[in-house]
A = this chain, B = another copy of it.
């Protein structure tokens, strides 16, 4: 309601909910398989088994569909990270951060191609308060942990850690890796190394 990317109608009825989901499902598949260039509203509608008119009943424009996809994906990441943080409550700083990063990785590897494409697509999207908030929340999750240990610029540290993890994941996926465990281990080395210098005695 408040933003240009907001969906058009809330899925109150069951049929509506299904149609909305079908649209996102179809759009996600298309985006993963064909990239941004292959994601056209007509293709999405056809793949979702609905008419183009119906598609526009649920999303005001193409960007809103991408936004919804992104939001969905982010919500999954956020939830996974929250769960990981809770599970490792009480552990050492770097252990908690690594658990979160692992969780994030696992989420991303569920649909690697889609995650990749979404990351690229985000740059072409207009600023949206909802998406911004989600982005902030993901980072805040890490900031929260870091802030318990040192004062100095936890925002930057959180950004760095998440970014290096994302970079490594993306490259690994492109190189054909599909298993999470080995990649996670390597990521941990970088994360721990990064963090060790920040801690009072490491």
Contact = CB atoms under 8 A, between A and B. Distances in A.
Interface of A: 35-37, 116-117, 120, 123-124, 156, 159-160, 162-168, 170-172, 175, 186, 189-194, 196-197
Given A116-B123, A160-B186, 14 more contacts: A35-B124, A36-B124, A117-B123, A156-B186, A160-B171, A160-B172, A163-B167, A163-B171, A165-B167, A166-B171, A167-B170, A190-B193, A191-B193, A193-B196
- Copies of this chain, complex-wide, total 4
A119 B189 CA distance: 25
- Classify the secondary structure of A's interface with B: helix
A159 B162 CA distance: 17
Contacts of A160: 168, 171-172, 186, 190
A74 to B, nearest CB: 15
27 contacts: A35-B124, A36-B124, A120-B120, A120-B123, A160-B168, A160-B171, A160-B186, A160-B190, A162-B171, A163-B167, A163-B168, A163-B170, A163-B171, A163-B172, A164-B164, A164-B167, A164-B168, A165-B167, A166-B171, A167-B167, A189-B193, A189-B194, A189-B196, A190-B191, A192-B193, A193-B193, A193-B194
B186 A190 contact: no
A117 B36 CA distance: 14
Nearest to A175: B159
A30 to B, nearest CB: 14
Contacts of A196: 189, 193
Contacts of A192: 193
A32 to B, nearest CB: 12
A172 to B, nearest CB: 7
Nearest to A165: B167
Nearest to A174: B123
Contacts of A175: 159
A96 B177 CA distance: 27
A123 B163 CA distance: 19
